[in-house]
Amino acid sequence: MKDVAIIIVSYNVSELLDDCLASVYASRGVSFDVCVVDNASSDSSAALVHERYPQVDLIESLHNGGYAYANNLGVNRLKAVAEAGETQATAYRYILLLNPDTRLDQTALAMSVAFMDGRPEVGIMGPKLLRQDGSLDLACRRSFPTPEVSFYRMIGLSKLFPRSRRFARYNLTFLDPNADAEVDAVAGAFMLLRQETVQQAGLLDERFFMYAEDVDWALRIKARGWKVVYHPAITVLHFKGASSRSNRLKTTFEFYRSMLLFYQKHYARSTFPLLDWLIVAGIYLRGGMAFLQAVLTMPRAGRPYVRGKTGTHSMGRNS
């Protein structure tokens, strides 16, 4: 039985994918296999994996079904391989969702496995994600976006009072970034899960094309009694948003669509009808304004994108 199965979903980021895989294969002290799911890229991503990383299990999706869809392809492939094996040699203790715009140091995987081995109550672990400028990627530790938490963020109170335990719950900016913390969710850019959690909670919800699918997964896993922990002793470099900058219209649309879907899935039934109407109207209003702003500020040459191929996911999971 190997330690970790690593699933990397990639869309038109061949250079970043190359650097990410190089950092993964430089890891020491841990056994792992890598599955790359190419989400119908139009660049040389698949060819790069074939040529430079023949040891990778490459899945070339024929269509871009989104981030959750692609990761589920990877998880199902791992399951099929394990079931076909005659021994546990093809099974894995942990599953790691990893974005192609991340860089690992040689000890990150081994330290992650050691942490999880020592904390059997933890179902999900996320490291400290650092941006290219050295700043903290705020999405690496999250609270669930309840109506109250989301409201404080949407009206700007979380930015005005980043140290407030009431107003700043969205990104938990009142916490010490260098201290372990039990949180609601961590970023899908580096999300290490115990194999049992996937067996219990099921796969990612493919209705989320991009954004919130990792938070939804964490909610379902926590509901089964597992803890989610932010562990900053492990740091991972995250070139956030690398695949989504050129897809601004799509990412704006999907951000608000995912916000609405998450609310309707988890909170709408317990919300007073009038408040429910106000929340839904607010999401549509904010989403419409954001989409209009994206259209107006987009370079003219980029506007035909609206009719073009969409990206798989945002590597900046700050939804």
CATH number for the domain harbouring residue 118: 3.90.550.10
Q: Are residues 25 and 40 part of one domain?
A: yes
Q: Are residues 201 and 65 part of one domain?
A: yes
Q: Are residues 300 and 206 part of one domain?
A: no
Tell me the three-class secondary structure of the chain, residue by residue.
CEEEEEEEEECCCHHHHHHHHHHHHCCCCCCEEEEEEEECCCCCHHHHHHHHCCCCEEEEECCCCCHHHHHHHHHHHHHHHHHHCCCHHHCEEEEEEECCCEECCCCHHHHHHHHHHHCCCEEEEEEEEECCCCCECHHHCECCCCHHHHHHHHCCHHHHCCCCCCCCCCCCCCCCCCCCEEECECCCCEEEEEHHHHHHHCCCCCCCCCCCHHHHHHHHHHCCCCEEEEEEEEEEEECCCCCCHHHHHHHHHHHHHHHHHHHHHHCHHHCCHHHHHHHHHHHHHHHHHHHHHHHHHCCHHHHHHHHCCCCCCCCCCCC
Q: Are residues 256 and 228 part of one domain?
A: no
Residue 153 falls inside a structural domain: no
Residue 84 falls inside a structural domain: yes
pLDDT at 304: 37
Q: 53-89 pLDDT, tens per residue?
A: 999 999 999 889 999 999 999 999 888 877 776 444 5
Q: Are residues 264 and 136 part of one domain?
A: no
Per-residue pLDDT tens, the chain, 319 aa: give them: 899 999 999 998 999 999 999 999 999 999 999 999 999 888 889 999 999 999 999 999 988 999 999 999 999 988 887 777 644 455 899 999 999 999 999 999 999 999 999 999 999 999 999 999 999 999 999 999 999 999 998 889 999 999 999 999 999 999 999 999 999 999 999 999 999 999 999 999 999 998 999 999 999 999 999 999 999 999 999 987 655 555 778 888 888 999 999 999 999 899 888 988 988 998 889 888 888 888 888 776 544 333 233 333 333 333 3
Residue 267: domain span:
245-307
Residue 317 falls inside a structural domain: no
Q: Are residues 121 and 56 part of one domain?
A: yes
Q: Are residues 84 and 182 part of one domain?
A: yes
pTM above 0.85, yes or no: yes
Q: Are residues 229 and 177 part of one domain?
A: yes
Into how many domains does the chain fold? 2
Residue 318 falls inside a structural domain: no
Q: Are residues 249 and 203 part of one domain?
A: no
Residue 119 falls inside a structural domain: yes
Q: Are residues 275 and 196 part of one domain?
A: no
Residue 24 falls inside a structural domain: yes
